[in-house]
Amino acid sequence: MTHALASSSLRDVLLCFAVATLGCGGVAPTAGAPDAGDDGSSQDGGAPDSGGEPGTPATFNVFDAIPQYGIYDSTEPSYTPPAGVLMWSYGTVFVTQLSAMEQASIGSDLAARVTFLAQCDNYDRLGGLFFISEPKGQVPQPTDARIEITRFITPFSDYTQGALATLVYPDADISPYAQALADPTRDVWVGIAGGSNPVSTDPCGSAAVSADFKAVGFKYSVDFVSTKPLAPGTSVVLSALADVSEMSSPITGTFTNPGGPIAGHVTVIISGHGSGAGGDEYDFTVDRLSVNGTQIGSFNTEIDCAPYAKYSPDGNPGIFQNNTNGNPRNWCPGAPVVTHTFPVTLDAGANTVSLGLTSSTVPSGSYYPTSINFTSP
């Protein structure tokens, strides 16, 4: 039997967001090239500059071994974040500002490379990346709305597992958000969230390690990777749903477009959770995405966990077996949650989005955290 996911931290903190912090359905144009006056210096901290020339795609570090504390903690941990990194929600959420040089290093094929560093919590937990865009000089607050850009599940591993204590996830495609993240007219903050649940029965419980070590479930490092130039331009980001825990099908929301018709893409992140009563983590769905009553795409969430079994030395082997024959899954411990992107043209005003699921049954205690965003171009 799989371990239950501790997902409430991510579910609670990834709120509805549009780039100009205009609330659900908000919209903001963003530029994709640096200002002529940018000198590449870091603002309000952030990761070190990549050293590349402005406008040159490059790989740079966003977070380095950031700890994840307990989702049930109610006091601040005895941890001082690196310079320029803000710690929220008792050490389960961290945000950092991208420097001007880092923004200029974002390319059109932008990907996020997440590294999991095992420590004390060896269960499968939800994690994810989001971003916040603020007016110049405005520091984000924990209540500011955010956009989720990728989601992943931690493996069953702990700090004693040698090479298996480190997992580099496959690069997550976040290119739909490249223009917004590169906007030099905004202060862009990238966040990582999820939290852990270290307890006395985990691998650190009876180990001769410090209390500070025992308080950390695991750590994350994050790099942004680009290889192709990003053409100067503008971007519009609209949010219909931002990590909303849905418990029925179809899942619906609204893109509010204050301008004229606009072409772009809709990106969906969805995963089913809940282990009771044959819960949604033991199933997969065929999903149909419609905008204004017209289907624009479909996808299947079925996944074979067998390739990820080796990364979970502490896990129940049954999770990773026969997933395409009698033991279905829609996510795997140690794997990313696949995103799905489809082209669409939005009308002016309100645009209804609907995501239909087959099977549409949601057992008691199960839910589908769902993010649906529009980006243009």
User: What CATH number does residue 90 fall under?
Assistant: 2.60.120
CA gap 148, 132 in Å, rounded: 9
Q: Is 371 a domain residue?
A: yes
Rounded to an integer, what distance in angstroms lies between the CA atom of residue 148 and that of residue 17?
Answer: 9
In the chain, the percentage of residues whose pLDDT exceeds 70 is: 86
Residue 17 and residue 112 in one domain: yes
Q: pTM value? A: 0.85
350-368 mean pLDDT: 95
Mean pLDDT lowest for which of 104-118, 149-163, 270-284? 270-284
Residues 246 and 174 in one domain: no
User: Does 245 share its domain with 213?
Assistant: no
Whether residues 266 and 213 fall in one domain: no
| Structure token pair of residue 10 | 């991510």
| Confidence (pLDDT) at 51 | 41
The two structure tokens encoding residue 134: 């603020």
Q: Give residue 68's pLDDT.
A: 98
15 and 151 within one domain: yes
**In angstroms, rounded to a whole number, what is the distance separating the alpha carbons of residues 234 and 179?**
7
203, 260 Cβ separation under 8 angstroms: no
Q: Is residue 21 predicted with pLDDT exceeding 50?
A: no
323 and 182 part of one domain: no
Residues 66 and 181 in one domain: yes
* Residue 127 located in a structural domain: yes
Of the residues 225, 247, 271, the one at which a domain ends: 225
Note whether 258 and 185 are same-domain residues. no
Same domain, 97 and 184: yes
CA distance 57 to 201: 45
The candidate with the shortest Cα–Cα distance to 67, out of 97, 88, 91, 96, is 91
- Where helices occur in the chain by DSSP H, the ranges are 8-13, 100-104, 178-182, 211-214
Domain-located, residue 115: yes
The count of structural domains within the chain is: 2
Q: Which two tokens stand for residue 161?
A: 């597992």
CATH number at residue 317: 2.60.120.230
Residue 82 CB coordination number (10 Å): 15
Judge contact between 68 and 87, C-beta under 8 A.
no
Task: Supply the mean pLDDT for the chain.
Answer: 87
**Confidence (pLDDT) at 39:** 33
Q: What are phi and psi of 91, to 5 degrees?
A: 85, 20
Residues 86 and 179 in one domain: yes
**Backbone phi, psi, residue 215, to 5°:** -75, -10
- Beta bridge mates, 189: 97, 132
Regarding whether 281 and 162 lie in a shared domain, the answer is: no
Distance CA 8, CA 373 (A): 21
Is 2 inside any structural domain?
no
For residue 38, give its domain range.
Answer: 8-225
Question: 3-state DSSP call for residue 4?
Answer: coil
Residues 201, 264 within the same domain: no
- Whether 214 maps to a domain, the answer reads yes
Average pLDDT over residues 258-270: 96
Distance CA 196, CA 109 (A): 31
Q: Classify strands 340-346 and 262-270 as parallel, antiparallel or unpaired.
A: antiparallel
For residue 230, is it within any domain?
no
- Tokens, residue 38: 């940018």
Domain limit, last residue, from 225, 248, 269: 225
State how far the Cα of 14 lies from the Cα of 340, in Å rounded to an integer: 19
Q: For residue 3, is it within any domain?
A: no
Mark which of 205, 225, 245 sits at the end of a domain: 225
Give residue-wise pLDDT tens across range 155-203: 999 999 999 999 999 999 999 999 999 999 999 999 999 999 999 999 9
Q: Note whether residue 1 is domain-resident.
A: no
Residue type, 213: F
Hey, what amino acid is at 150? T
Question: Which residue, 159, 174, 200, 364, is CA-closest to 278?
Answer: 364
